[in-house]
Amino acid sequence: MAYEKATPEAAAELTADAKLEQLVIWLREDLVGELQAINQYQAHINQMDHPEIRSMLEHIRDDEKEHVAELTHLLTRIDAVQKMKFATDHTAAPADRVASVEDETSGLTVGNMFGQK
């Protein structure tokens, strides 16, 4: 293995791997920021009495949720283990769930049970 790393091709590959690893780290950090932004907007929404401003903040909060989805999808394109983990639903069995997105008759999700957050 050490011999392979000594070749120029292997060194170039290592550099590419290192760059990819750094990118994954940055994307995870960006994801943390987006999730924190959602919580911060939600906290401000909960304290906002003005309907127009409240509506604007809800729109921005939902934009942040889209950013979470975009970053998550991007991560799964780069991190094979993460992609595999997302492919499996690790939550409770359907019969044991409080609510499900698939339950379109009620429109309930765990999030919107508390006011469409």
Question: Which positions touch Fe ion (CB under 5 A)?
Answer: 34, 64, 67
| Nearest distance from C-beta of residue 91 to Fe ion, angstroms | 25
| Nearest distance from C-beta of residue 59 to Fe ion, angstroms | 12
Q: How far apart are CA 49 and CA 51, in angstroms?
A: 6
Nearer Cβ to Fe ion, position 34 or 79?
A: 34
The DSSP result for 7-43, as a single string, is: SHHHHHHHHHHHHHHHHHHHHHHHHHHHHHHHHHHHH
Nearer Cβ to Fe ion, position 67 or 97?
A: 67
Secondary structure letter of residue 95 according to DSSP: G
Give the residue closest to Fe ion by C-beta.
67
| Nearest distance from C-beta of residue 117 to Fe ion, angstroms | 16
| Nearest distance from C-beta of residue 71 to Fe ion, angstroms | 9
Write out the two tokens for 112.
């919107």
- Look at residues 69, 60, 67, 72 and name the one whose alpha carbon lies nearest to residue 24: 72
Nearer Cβ to Fe ion, position 37 or 99?
A: 37
Nearer Cβ to Fe ion, position 28 or 67?
A: 67
